[in-house]
Amino acid sequence: MADYDVSIVIATKDRQLHLVNCVQSIGEQATPPLQVIIVNDGKLNPHNRERIESALPADTELILTDNSDASGLSDARNTGIEIATGEIVLFLDDDTILGPNFVRQLRDSYRTHDTDRLAGIGGIDGSRKTTASRIFHAVFYLRARGWVINPAGIQVSDHRITQPVEAEWLPGYAASFKRDVIAEEPFASWEGGRESFEDVEYAWRIKSQGYHFIADPTLEVTHLRAESNEGAFTEWIKGGRNRVRIFRRHGSLFFLPLLLWSGFGEFLKPLLTGAIHGDAINQVAKGTGYLMGFISELLR
């Protein structure tokens, strides 16, 4: 892999303004990507399509396509994998904004860190973790540091890092993978729509095959975390279900108590967030949805 050419895949549905802003940040890259592949599950009006097309340099191939499978995030990403020709496939959420040197620094990071056991490198939005969040991770997930997946399948992140570190998972909003790895192990799909924790399932799966990742804070990225168009309650029901599905697929019954304890923590976290920062109705919807999905899948 001498060149590390980058194909960017964006799965999107009915968040047109976010998508336009994301693509404009790609068009401003000091080193342009080889391809931008937009897999669309929703609508894209002619005006925004023109803005997207005009945002990219002439030597970057733009492919706009519909999802080739059932409507959903994982299926859309897998559609992008089938189209991508770059040696590196970078997945972006449509509400992600790249810093102007992201692609160039990503290629440099691969040149520095690549080994046979490296599966991918991801950027991290360093503004997202607080001291309270780290304490919460230590209590409910039994880890406060590192980029690891605990034995219950819960991901732990440490956004205080200032240098690239080896990681067991990458956040899906700005994660890149070697195409030959991701093509062999595509994303899992459960219900369609906005899948939850598909990045964690993927990472746990290939972790068992001896691969690792690099979390690189020098890759400048902002994740706006726009609300899902499915609504908080529906999205978090999926989250609760998928936590149990992931554990059932990859975990050990020995760690079932940890799954239950972590599940209680994930139900409690939005409720505490609502009490401290406001937005109580939305946060209660998240916590209630998560609990319902978790219990229903656990009893299935």
Does residue 117 share a domain with residue 62?
A: yes
Does residue 218 share a domain with residue 69?
A: yes
Does residue 120 share a domain with residue 50?
A: yes
Any domain includes 241 = yes
Does residue 184 share a domain with residue 81?
A: yes
- Cα separation, 171 vs 183, in Å, equals 19
Any domain includes 71 = yes
What are 253-297's pLDDT values in tens digits?
Answer: 999 999 999 999 999 888 887 777 677 888 889 999 999 999 999
Residue 260: what pLDDT? 96
Give me the residues of the chain with pLDDT under 70, please.
1, 67-70, 127-132, 143-144, 229, 277
Does residue 237 share a domain with residue 219?
A: no
Does residue 242 share a domain with residue 93?
A: no
Any domain includes 60 = yes
Does residue 267 share a domain with residue 219?
A: no
pTM of the model: 0.92
Any domain includes 148 = no
Residue 130: what pLDDT? 64
Domain count, the chain: 2
Any domain includes 1 = no
Residue 54: what pLDDT? 95
- Residues of the chain with pLDDT > 70, as a percent, come to 94
Where among 223, 240, 257 does a domain terminate?
223
Residue 101: what pLDDT? 97
Does residue 189 share a domain with residue 67?
A: yes
Does residue 96 share a domain with residue 46?
A: yes
Residue 280: what pLDDT? 80
Residue 188 belongs to domain spanning: 6-124+161-223
Does residue 239 share a domain with residue 218?
A: no
Any domain includes 15 = yes
Does residue 282 share a domain with residue 178?
A: no
Residue 68: what pLDDT? 56
